[in-house]
């Protein structure tokens, strides 16, 4: 039996009497769990007063859990600095965009830019790393917790103002370069010195988007350096243990790739039902999806994030929803089987560990209505049985290593920020567009890697780059040299690095590859779609449509073509409906020499080597298409709602 | 002719030339009105500059009105302190949750926690109480005006911060007790001293709900003590006159029961049409109700509040809507007859006095579009004729005393706060749930008392306790000892007093009575209902559904039962549609030995002794059901829209 | 060829290399353009540091453009003061209603009330006026840019507080007069000194509407005096050049009429597609209009504003949308032909100049997605061809002078403010009501002047005054003396100048003319219309309905009449549906001796002398009604979507 895939759980010994720890540990092991994450919110328990420490409970907890056979993920507790620390330096508190302090009383009450808090973060990290760095049970680390959660990636505090000015000085060297890059001449916004520059909040109308973009870049860099300070201390004190951070779903407020460069594991916290609600609110997904998938989640959302974070490191799910949560607009019970299905899907996408949040439902404070694997009276929560089944299943199966996919989808945080800052229609939502196109690939059975714009393109047969707002010359060159089919657009190459329009119009450096330039964009309300032509037929396009001047490219002979083609390069001129996108991707996969499958609604599949793992997010039983040949290892070719099937494919 | 029921009117002599007062008074008496409320916004007229008084106008007004035969409700004017007072102590101003001052320029511009304002409130109260306490015309008092209106029950000012810390010190004794009660270990929120604790606003994400709950309790206690200070002064100076305060509809921001303990009369301000609009906005009532009852109001809203406040003291309606108001989202004209109908309904529910707001429409300032009984040109407003008719009717009828109802609905402010702070779905609204269940009882013809959790249960045959989030051990014991049928749930007994989950799961101390424990809750969007089983048939449940582990209880033999039963105790596992709730209540009434009636839509009835008073809130003429036998005293068995019928029932 | 009508363009030489200016100028001239507006955002380029000037570029630009044959509109650059100026006097920044500073980083970052900034505004104005006042190419001026844009007409800063107190002292003389005018007795809001008075923001509930109204009047007066200071300097230095300001659509936050008194040209910035979106958001126009006119705009919105501003001076369109813009919720591409159609419509309504925003799409900063006439790569944007066509058309046609219309619609900023401050229903929107009635007149083919309440009424045959909330005695007298048919209501004459109810009820001083008084108003949600009677038939009325006591007036013999009639005066008691309004206006036009035409949906026409200019805003081809006789000069009697026809009418 390999050590991965495996399951874990988030545990808070400080919530429970010490007498209960050993039986909890045993019950975890009995359920097939092998990893436990601890201590990420425990600073005030460890250090109840300045320099007055209480390590005993944590020593004991580590020992008890480890002795039971569990491997520990130890955390730095910097997401929740104690009240006494805040009172020592009240200006460590972040300031919101309205200028209000973001006070103590919940969590993440600090500014990444505050140098005093940086020192404290390093002090507590060093204490924990030194104490547990070589502990045999401590097998991995997590820095802090959910960087940026609750809009904490940015702060409009004095520390950030100073930091931003310094950062701009370093980036631009001379204030004239900044004025030119931002186009400050536009509204007499020219600065004479870097210290003239304010943070981009509370301006009369929207700030210069280049100003806002640089503030997001700066804020991202602060998170990177905050994280790196902890990483360097842990690496020194705890060699060979991998270090992780737990990212989130649908979260774009810092550039995760630059943070992930300094880590080993790219973990994330997967809450399918809460995220379905949040996506509905943020991106107005259609009502049918909410109806059909209320208790299973969006069929592509989890998969996309697995692929996204796997592109940044070893993939773990650090927190997996095990039942209803408490923080979404509505918090429903998962469909029977959904917890197991989500777990299988994580493994399908290469997760080493699926760790559930949390062992036992806490009786108090903010998340008391968030399920655990155990009820408050220590009886089993319904999710636990599914986790036990999943543990039995993965233990008995030889799961191949994950391998490179044939299809790459390029995702970029800067692109996301640029669409936010220059949306042209309220209904444009970068992640939704990517999910539509990613989902269209998956509806054809494709296995996809999500990569960054600087990542290696070798080996891919099809490369998708929707709304990659800025395309660097380097990427343009690598795309030209690639033998893959390229499917770009809409909105690809629409901006320079400085957030300006490219001199040669969009798609900028891709113009010769694409063989067309974009002359106008039509930014529409989602509820008023228009017709374009795909394969000679009408298709429906909403939110976004472009008009092109064809250079070397061709399009079908219609007035309003959805796509242009120039050799290996295709460009989508509109955000088409999902049926059309599925057809577009089918055609692209075929052109790339790949074999599409025609999956029924809500059925998804991912291959891990020769193993194909099917998940049914829909409300109806569905059949695995005949085109999949091979042996069914788990489940059946008929898959129930929230069901799973695992096959070994023959070619 | 008994002195009650009677009618009154709110009058502002300071708005009109003194020459008009006598004719106004005469016209009131001619209309059959016997009570006049005065002076609640008159501080700046009484004391235009510090310690410089102008009593003459008020002396004269009291004399003129009294001489005309009217009885006066004299008010303390503390809802509108003068500008000079605010300038003397600017920190008496409340601070909103965003940290902004709530400036002078309208009303209620003070913090209950400000000790300086407390002294001023006592000073002006003593001056007025001493001057008019023994005046023969002053027959009742009102303290302040609409405590809490415009979100003024809480303030985030320094006075409140200091008061809250002191209050917490008194409640918990030691900071460790507070940390434990609140579960502060959860996110390292532990405090070392009571003076470490901030107010629960502006936290990064939601504050600990136990923290927020205690702040609501504290703020409630401040209102109680503010009110009590005035009451003690008035009682000393004006013996034997009852003291009232005028509460509001749909208002839950302080615990009215603890304030009412110190008062004689529990008055409230009844605005059926404005409140229909507010309920639509707050609780998303269905569009059909707004359509059908736009000009009559929700058929249960007024009745519920009459019953609610009658449970706290002698019931008066201090302000009754007499025509269109000005402050709701839309302000329509009442249906012809509605003013009389609302008046009759108040009497049906035990009101001693129905007092209309206001005598004559004011030509200026904030509420100039709010109707009165007289137009601005002194002609009669349409409502006045209905009031005259009502006065003739009550004068000619011998209306029995109100007696205890056979059904009790337990309502609790803490429960309402807990559902707000821990809703699990945005669509959960405590008052709406109570109205649905109260309305279902009324659709069966039931007469209901609304009581608090500490009130006496003796004599009730059916006790309803939906969403009574915290159930004390004492109440649990009294319920066990009661011979009444108990109908609890959903969400009953779900929290401890400290806002934690009960160790033995919900319904906590009611578990043995109910014979079941709740293992999971399903908090759904209202627009996606699910099916449950009631009486072997499918019924529709939305917003809230629970799963139970049955101990001694039984349920019908289905997977998803709506109700469990254990001897006299029933527990509702979901928020069922109104048709189902009517059937559930019918069954509960029958089990309790009561006789349900099948009322047509929008027809309601209440008994006051043997007298039954019917009101038709709907758009169609309806018939009194055959099951009601007796003599029709007023109206007819066919009741027009906005019509009334009064019967003496034979058994 | 007359010098008017003509076209212009907004040009920013500071955005482009000097080497490009001459070719840009030549291309403008080649396109038929004769005017260029420059320099309105150029302060920081002219004066990069305090008292350090760079005039050369502007001298050169003026010379280059002028030499090419273009006439210049020179602007004062006060909408965008440089950062160094803000740093010199940080309190020049406006403060928003929440008390937050409105920081530098975009535009309009100043308070009109700040005396220091007033001095700076005069200093830079004098420098520019002196330098270019007698330049032969500078043929007109623009002060500042879009006063009030981004909610900048008001500021809650200390300068405004001081100014407001002084202004109130001047208006009322004695504080008692203010207390009486405002009705401060209502909630003890009496003041003892003018310096007691705060700005009307952050009050606990809404401020006294009279207080809020006076603050709007004061803020308006500050804009008037700010503008006048610039005007006086320019007039002295640049005699005989007309001075303009560019107003906006749907903007009511200051009284444009008092500003326009000091100017020659009343220019405005016309963005039909952005404004359609904004009107949808602000006034909930029906979804069909958005669907049908998404790419042409509301068929009456532009016309109304042309007529509105033509009533204040010589009409120019200073900025005309030439393609998609960037700042609305959704920014779609105009229908083919729409840019030409909008241009023709401006001329139809008397515009001397139609100036397009902007020559070339800027590659940077806030409005980079806003179209110009040239793409970023200097190729032609699609709008340019339409503008060339329009220029050819107007050059070849002898367009008569604009003459007085037979119909006047009275529009008033105070009326708009009063309905905002005392709306009674959220769904009341003054501009929408005026557009409905104005549109109903236009659906009958009427040509309309929009005038202010103090303007001359001579020569009009029909005068419309919907919701003219305050009617002065002088206007009432002039209306009585007029021989025109009067169509007033709803809500006309409902308030005194002091924002009180008139003693004799609405319509106040018009009561004897109208022959009725209003006894009640019914302020309804738009989605719940009611029936009233028009011409003996049911019609649908939503949002607003009134009940009247008839004096000399008559109405049709029904319970709920839509209109009363008394000799020449009609009063509308409700906000009727558009079909009914068209019929009401048809009847009023006939009574006034005018000949209505029955225009098909979305077709509009305006006469300029004998010339009739037809525009088709709808999605279908329509026919010019047979009732229009004459010669078709441009186009055809069948008009395509976004098409234009020009006729010379025979009688």
The full set of domain ranges for chain A reads 34-239, 407-591, 603-649
Beta carbons of B361 and B324 less than 8 angstroms apart: no
- State whether A204 and C367 contact (CB < 8 Å): no
In contact, C140 and C249? CB cutoff 8 Å? no
pLDDT reported for residue A270: 98
**Cross-sheet strand order for the sheet of C569-572:** C448-451, C407-410, C462-465, C485-488, C569-572, C563-566, C554-555
> Residue C587 and residue C589: Cα distance in Å, rounded?
5
> Pick from C585, C563, C559: which is nearest to C574 by CA?
C563
CA distance A326 to chain B (A): 6
Q: Which residues of chain C have pLDDT under 70?
A: 1-2
Listed by number, the residues of chain B in 547-586 with a beta carbon closer than 8 Å to a beta carbon of chain A are 547, 549
Residues whose CB falls within 8 Å of the CB of residue B149, separated by 6 or more in sequence, listed in order: B107, B108, B248, B251, C205
| The residue to which tokens 């690809």 are assigned | A492
In chain C, which residues have their Cβ closer than 8 Å to the Cβ of B43? 188
Q: How far apart are CA C77 and CA B269, in angstroms?
A: 56
- Tell me the C-alpha distance between C96 and C551, whole Å: 48
Nearest residue of chain A to residue C16 (CA atoms): A185
Residues of B that are catalytic: 146, 319
The predicted complex's ipTM stands at 0.97
B445: CB partners within 8 A, 6+ apart: B595, B596, B597, B598, B599, B605, B625, B627, B628
Give the residues across from B245 on adjacent strands: B266
What's residue B1's pLDDT?
42
| Contact between chains at A523 and C382 (C-beta distance less than 8 A) | no
Residue C256 CA: distances (Å) to CA of B241, C422, C474: 58, 21, 21
* B87 contact residues in C (CB cutoff 8 A): 196
Chain A / chain B CB contacts < 8 angstroms: 170
* Stretch 299-328 of chain B: residues touching chain C, C-beta under 8 Å: 323-324, 326
The DSSP call for residue B645 is: E
Contact at 8 Å (CB) between B13 and B21? yes
Contact C106 A204 (CB under 8 A): yes
- pLDDT (mean) for B467-487: 98
Q: Is-contact A322 A381, C-beta < 8 A?
A: yes
| DSSP 8-state secondary structure symbol assigned to residue A195 | G
* E strand residue ranges, A369-413: 407-410
Contact residues on chain C for A190, CB-CB shorter than 8 A: 44-45, 48, 82-83
Cα-Cα-Cα-Cα dihedral of C535, C537, C542, C548, to 10°?
A: 50
Mean pLDDT taken over chain B: 97
Q: Provide the token pair at A556.
A: 């079908």
Question: Does the beta carbon of C369 lie under 8 angstroms from any beta carbon of chain A?
Answer: yes
Q: Which of C47, C146, C345, C352 is catalytic?
A: C146
Tokens of A502: 């490219």
Give the C-alpha separation, A321 to A325, whole Å: 7
| Alpha carbons B112 and B160: distance in angstroms, whole number | 8
- A459-A464-A466 Cα angle (round to 5): 155
DSSP C92: G
CB contact under 8 A, B105 and C203: yes
Interface of A with C in 183-242 (CB under 8 A): 183-192, 196, 198, 200-211
| C-alpha–C-alpha distance, residues C609 and C591, integer Å | 22
Query: CATH homologous superfamily for C603-649?
Result: Golgi alpha-mannosidase II (2.60.40.1180)
Neighbouring chains of A at 3+ CB pairs under 8 Å are: B, C
Query: What residues pair up with B408 in beta bridges, in sequence order?
Result: B449, B463
C84 touches chain A (CB under 8 A): yes
**Alpha-carbon gap, residue B114 to B95, rounded angstroms:** 12
Burial annotation A149-162 (CB, 10 A radius, 16+ → b, else e): bbbbbbbbbebbbe
For chain B, the C-alpha Rg in angstroms (whole number) is 25
DSSP state for residue A20 in the 8-state scheme: G
Residue C2 pLDDT: 58
pLDDT tens, residue by residue, B544-567: 999 999 999 999 878 899 999 999
CB atoms within 10 A of CB C216: 23
Residues C651, C647: Cα–Cα separation, whole Å: 12
Structure tokens belonging to residue A358: 């949390």
Out of B109, B294, B371, closest to residue C528 by CB? B294
What architecture does CATH give domain A407-591? 3-Layer(aba) Sandwich (3.40)
Residue C146 annotated in active site: yes
Chain segment C507-536, per-residue pLDDT in tens? 999 999 999 999 999 999 999 999 999 999
Question: Which chain A residues have a beta carbon less than 8 Å from that of C376?
Answer: 501-503, 505
What class is the C34-239 domain?
Answer: alpha beta
Query: CB of A480 within 8 Å of any CB in chain B?
Result: no
What is the rounded CA–CA span in Å between residue C247 and residue C309? 8
Cis bond before residue A461 (omega within 30° of 0): no
A150 part of contact set with chain B, CB < 8 Å? yes
**Both ends of chain A: CA-CA distance in Å?**
27
Helix (H) or strand (E) holding A121: helix A115-132
The residue whose two tokens read 């060699």 is: A239
CB B267 within 8 A of CB B246: yes
> Is the CB of residue B275 less than 8 Å away from at least one CB of chain A?
no
Is the Cβ of C392 closer than 8 Å to some Cβ of chain A? no
Separation between Cα atoms, residue B440 and residue B303, nearest integer Å: 13
Longest distance between any two alpha carbons in chain B, whole Å? 77
Write the DSSP string, C408-473: EEE--HHHHHHHHHT-SBTT--HHHHHHHHHHHHHHTT--EEEE-TTS--TT-SEEEETT--B--H
Torsion on CA atoms B522, B525, B528, B534, rounded to nearest 10: 50
Confidence check: pLDDT of B335 > 70? yes
Tell me the mean pLDDT in the region B73-78.
Answer: 98
Write down the pTM of the prediction.
0.97
Using CB atoms, list chains with 3+ pairs below 8 Å to chain B: A, C
- Go through chain B and tell me how many residues it has: 651
Find, among B369, B371, B347, the residue nearest to B359 by Cα. B371
By the 10 Å C-beta count (0-12 exposed, 13-18 middle, 19+ buried), B26 is classed as: middle
Question: So what's the pLDDT on residue A1?
Answer: 42
| 3-class DSSP state of B633 | strand
Chain A residues close to B196, C-beta within 8 Å: 83-84, 87
Q: How far apart are CA C355 and CA C4, in angstroms?
A: 12
Would an 8 Å CB–CB cutoff place C330 in contact with chain A?
Answer: yes
Residues 527-546 of B with CB under 8 A from A: 528
A51 in contact with B at a CB cutoff of 8 Å?
no
Which candidate, B26, B18, B109, places its Cα nearest to that of B65? B26
> How high is the pLDDT of residue C1?
42
Low-confidence ranges of chain A (pLDDT < 70): 1-2
Measured CA to CA, the distance from residue C456 to residue A490 in angstroms comes to: 56
How far is it, in rounded angstroms, from Cα B530 to Cα B527?
Answer: 10
């Amino acid at each position: 039996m390999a050590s991965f895939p495996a399951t874990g759980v988030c545990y808070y010994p400080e919530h429970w009497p010490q007498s209960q720890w050993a039986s909890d540990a045993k019950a975890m092991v009995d359920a097939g769990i092998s990893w436990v994450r601890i201590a990420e919110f425990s600073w005030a328990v460890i250090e109840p007063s300045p320099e007055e420490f209480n390590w005993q409970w944590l020593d004991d907890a580590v020992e008890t859990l480890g002795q039971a056979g569990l491997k520990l993920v130890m955390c730095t507790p910097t997401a929740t600095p104690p009240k006494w620390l805040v009172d020592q330096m009240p200006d460590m508190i972040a300031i919101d965009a309205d200028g209000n302090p973001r006070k103590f009383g919940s969590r993440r009450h600090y500014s990444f830019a505050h140098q005093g808090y940086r020192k404290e973060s390093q002090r507590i990290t060093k204490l924990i790393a030194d104490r547990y760095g070589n502990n045999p049970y401590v097998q991995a680390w997590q820095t802090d917790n959910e960087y940026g959660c609750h809009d904490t990636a940015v702060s409009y505090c004095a520390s950030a103002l100073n930091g931003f000015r310094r950062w701009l000085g370093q980036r631009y060297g001379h204030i004239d370069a900044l004025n030119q890059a931002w186009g400050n001449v536009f509204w007499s916004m020219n600065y004479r010195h870097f210290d003239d520059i304010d943070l981009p909040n509370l301006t009369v109308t929207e700030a210069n988007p280049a100003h806002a973009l640089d503030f997001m870049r700066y804020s991202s860099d602060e998170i990177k350096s905050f994280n790196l300070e902890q990483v360097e201390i842990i690496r020194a004190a705890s060699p060979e243990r991998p270090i992780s951070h737990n990212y989130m779903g649908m979260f774009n407020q810092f550039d995760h790739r630059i943070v992930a460069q300094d880590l080993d594991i790219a973990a994330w916290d997967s809450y399918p039902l809460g995220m379905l609600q949040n996506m509905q609110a943020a991106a107005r997904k259609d009502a049918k999806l909410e109806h059909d998938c209320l208790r299973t989640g969006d069929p592509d959302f989890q998969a996309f994030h697995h692929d996204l974070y796997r592109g940044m490191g070893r993939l773990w799910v650090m927190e997996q929803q095990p039942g209803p949560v408490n923080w979404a607009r509505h918090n429903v019970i998962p469909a029977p089987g959904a917890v197991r299905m989500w777990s299988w899907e994580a493994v399908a996408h290469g997760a080493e560990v699926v760790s559930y949040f949390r062992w036992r439902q806490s009786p108090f404070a903010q998340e008391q209505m968030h399920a655990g694997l155990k009820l408050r009276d220590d009886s089993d929560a319904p999710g636990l049985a599914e986790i036990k089944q999943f543990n039995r299943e993965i233990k008995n199966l030889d799961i191949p290593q994950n391998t490179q996919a044939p299809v790459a989808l390029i995702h970029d945080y800067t692109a996301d920020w640029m669409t936010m800052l220059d949306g042209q229609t309220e209904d444009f939502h970068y992640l939704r567009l990517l999910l539509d196109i990613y989902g269209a690939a998956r509806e054809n059975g494709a296995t996809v890697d999500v990569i960054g714009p600087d990542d290696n393109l070798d080996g891919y047969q099809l490369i998708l780059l929707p709304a990659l707002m800025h395309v660097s010359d380097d990427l343009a060159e690598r795309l030209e040299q690639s033998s893959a089919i390229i499917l770009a657009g809409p909105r690809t190459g629409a901006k320079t690095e400085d957030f300006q329009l490219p001199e040669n119009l969009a798609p900028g450096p891709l113009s010769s590859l694409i063989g067309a330039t974009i002359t106008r964009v039509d930014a529409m309300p989602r509820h008023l779609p228009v017709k374009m032509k795909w394969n000679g037929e009408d298709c429906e396009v909403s939110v976004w449509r472009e008009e092109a001047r064809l250079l070397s490219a061709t399009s079908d002979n219609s007035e309003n073509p959805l796509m242009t083609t120039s050799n290996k390069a295709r460009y989508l001129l509109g955000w088409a409906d999902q049926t059309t996108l599925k057809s577009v991707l089918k055609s692209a996969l075929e052109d790339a020499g790949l074999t599409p499958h025609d999956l029924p609604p809500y059925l998804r599949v991912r291959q891990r080597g020769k193993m194909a793992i099917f998940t049914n997010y829909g409300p109806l039983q569905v059949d695995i298409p005949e085109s999949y040949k091979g042996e069914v290892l788990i489940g059946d070719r008929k898959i129930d709602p929230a069901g799973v099937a695992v096959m070994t494919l023959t070619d």
